């Protein structure tokens, strides 16, 4: 049985950004020597998410537009009364989710033909960590 944990620190250039982290998930699979099991991927910050979808810039823009309609950046959130300015980032994270399980079968990530693993940042420009935990059989 394999139980392998590692972390990736990211720092986005923008406050809102989507990064494709699938290649890093593959590196974790390779480093862990996982042949059959799961890789758990989790955003370790309450203003970021991890999700699976297509790597397509138009879709990424659509996702950001959709999130902005549902959880717009605006000054009148009660959370801002604490001195913060990122209430919308917390809400955006809730919409996309914080973590995913990526299946591994016969030594390969078992994703659909267009599926990629993404990190969504909604309060960026500072270092944040992503957790990767590979579990299963060598």
Asked if 39 and 137 touch (Cβ cutoff 8 Å), the reply is no
pLDDT of 22: 98
pLDDT of 137: 98
Q: What is the CATH number of the domain that holds 93?
A: 2.60.120.460
| pLDDT tens string 20-48 | 999 999 999 999 999 999 999 999 999 99
pLDDT of 39: 98
pLDDT of 41: 98
Helix, strand or coil for residue 88?
A: helix
Residues 100-122: what's their mean pLDDT? 98
Complete DSSP assignment for 7-70: EEEE--SSSSEEEE-HHHHHHHHHHHT-SEEEEEEEE-STTEEEEEEE--HHHHHHHHHHHHHH
| pLDDT tens string 44-103 | 999 999 999 999 999 999 999 999 999 999 999 999 999 999 999 999 999 999 999 999
pLDDT of 94: 97
Q: pLDDT band at residue 112, thresholds of 50, 70 and 90?
A: very high
Do β-strands 108-109 and 48-54 pair in parallel, antiparallel, or remain unpaired?
unpaired
Q: Domain range spanning residue 78?
A: 2-137
pLDDT of 33: 98
* Best CA proximity match to 12, nearest among 97, 91, 123, 90: 123
pLDDT of 114: 97
Structurally, the chain folds into a number of domains equal to: 1
pTM score of the predicted model: 0.95
Length of the chain: 138
């Amino acid at each position: 049985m394999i139980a392998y944990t590692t972390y990736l620190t990211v720092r986005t250039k923008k406050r809102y950004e989507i990064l494709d982290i699938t290649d890093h998930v593959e590196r974790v699979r390779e480093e862990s020597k996982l042949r059959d099991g799961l890789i758990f991927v989790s955003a370790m910050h309450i203003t970021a998410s991890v999700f699976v979808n297509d790597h397509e810039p138009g879709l990424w823009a659509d996702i950001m537009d959709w999130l902005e309609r549902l959880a717009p950046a605006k000054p009148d959130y009660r959370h801002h009364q604490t001195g913060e300015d990122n209430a919308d980032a917390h809400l955006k994270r809730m919409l996309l989710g914080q973590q995913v399980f990526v299946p591994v079968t016969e030594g390969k990530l078992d994703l659909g033909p267009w599926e990629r693993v993404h990190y969504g940042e909604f309060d960026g420009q500072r270092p944040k960590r992503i957790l990767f935990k590979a579990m299963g059989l060598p």
